[in-house]
Amino acid sequence: MFKGSITALITPLRNGKIDEKAFQDFVEWQIKQGSHGLVPCGTTGESPTLDHNEHERVIDLCIESANKKVPVIAGTGSNSTDEAISLTKYSKKAGADAALVVTPYYNKPTQEGIYQHFKAINDSCDLPIVIYNIPGRSVIDIDIDTMIKLAKLKNIVGVKDSSNDLTRPLLTSQSISKDFCQISGEDATVVPFLSQGGHGCISVTANIAPKLCSELHNAWQKNNLKKVKLLNSYLFPLHNALFLETSPGPVKYAASLLRICSDELRLPLVKISSINKKKIKNTLSKLKLKPIKK
């Protein structure tokens, strides 16, 4: 259903508020650069510190600017099942193409609890759901038996996998279906993920280099492995630079260098260190990534 380079959008801020113009300009630029899809209100979009109204507003702004040109997969996850249902219902009404729903963080549910959480969301709203499995942030991991059960539910169409287990996509495709959408959440390992049966990547790097990221996936789909290898090697230093500190700190600083938006974050995240700013600046310079002309 979903494939290619799907950008995990940052949320531009100015003086503590959402910079709506910068965000919509950014969405339009992403589409012009060839991104295959957009994810507002994911972790990269600082969803944990957006209040409910802001969360809904960012989804609305993205859908409005995308204008059906590319799919919008709205981040609607929460560790409260009721809140996740509310955000998913809102996204359906707003016109999103799907919802990205993270595993319940902090609560540490059992595998049965994970299943019942996603089943409740599935049963409450007729919108395609992509499960977001990220053990590094939510502590819990969805095992393959639970994923098999979840894949049988009507609205569960795929997974964004950030487990860093590159056996997972092959195991999933063999245990569930090759049609079950598998999207990487790790830029640096996207090519081996694709080679094991993956379909695309929900990408942090695509915030900064959307054209290069989309070209890599286009080349993969055309079986142009020589170009894939070239682009993968070229992008690798940027992947590393954008995770020198907790995301989205580094990617927001890189975005500020490209004049996309300010590098403002919300506490408890803070601006990145001077030494890492220098490393990111040097990386952008070496890759010849220049400020956007407006």
Torsion angle of C-alpha atoms 228, 229, 234, 236, degrees rounded to 10: 100
- Marked catalytic residue, from 90, 115, 132, 253: 132
- pLDDT category, 51, cuts 50, 70, 90? very high
What is d(CA 256, CA 195) in angstroms, rounded to the nearest whole number?
34
For residue 154, give every residue at least 6 positions away whose Cβ sits within 8 Å of its Cβ, in sequence order, or none. Answer: 122, 126
DSSP H helical ranges for the chain? 20-32, 52-66, 81-94, 111-124, 135-138, 144-151, 168-175, 190-195, 210-221, 225-241, 249-257, 274-286
What is d(CA 61, CA 65) in angstroms, rounded to the nearest whole number?
6
What is d(CA 255, CA 262) in angstroms, rounded to the nearest whole number?
7
Question: What phi and psi values does residue 129 have, to the nearest 5 degrees?
Answer: -120, 130
pLDDT of residue 231: 98
Question: What phi and psi values does residue 5 have, to the nearest 5 degrees?
Answer: -95, 110
Angle at 35 between CA 29 and CA 39, to 5 degrees: 90
pLDDT of residue 242: 98
Taking 80 as the threshold, does the pLDDT of residue 293 lie above it? no
pLDDT tens for 123-144 read 999 999 999 999 999 999 999 9
pLDDT tens for 201-216 read 999 999 999 999 999 9
Active site residue 132: yes
Q: Please give the share of the chain, as a percent, with pLDDT higher than 70.
A: 100
**Token code pair at residue 76:** 């609607």
- Judge whether 193 and 166 are in contact, CB under 8 Å: yes
DSSP states of 171-239:
HHHHHT-TTSEEEES-GGGHHHHHHTT--EEEESGGGT-HHHHHHHHHHHHTT-HHHHHHHHHHHHHHH
**Token code pair at residue 210:** 């959307």
- Marked catalytic residue, from 3, 160, 252, 277: 160
Active site residue 106: no
pLDDT of residue 294: 65
Question: Which comes out higher in pLDDT, residue 25 or 1?
Answer: 25
pLDDT tens for 90-104 read 999 999 999 999 999
What is d(CA 294, CA 291) in angstroms, rounded to the nearest whole number?
9
Average pLDDT over residues 228-237: 98
pLDDT of residue 1: 81
Taking 70 as the threshold, does the pLDDT of residue 291 lie above it? yes
- Judge whether 237 and 281 are in contact, CB under 8 Å: no
From 117, 123, 184, 166, select the one nearest 146 (Cα to Cα): 117
Domains and CATH numbers, the chain: 4-222 (3.20.20.70)
Average pLDDT over residues 264-287: 97
**Token code pair at residue 184:** 């990487």
- pLDDT category, 178, cuts 50, 70, 90? confident
pLDDT tens for 165-177 read 999 999 999 999 8
Sign of CA dihedral 177, 42, 271, 23: positive
- Judge whether 26 and 260 are in contact, CB under 8 Å: yes
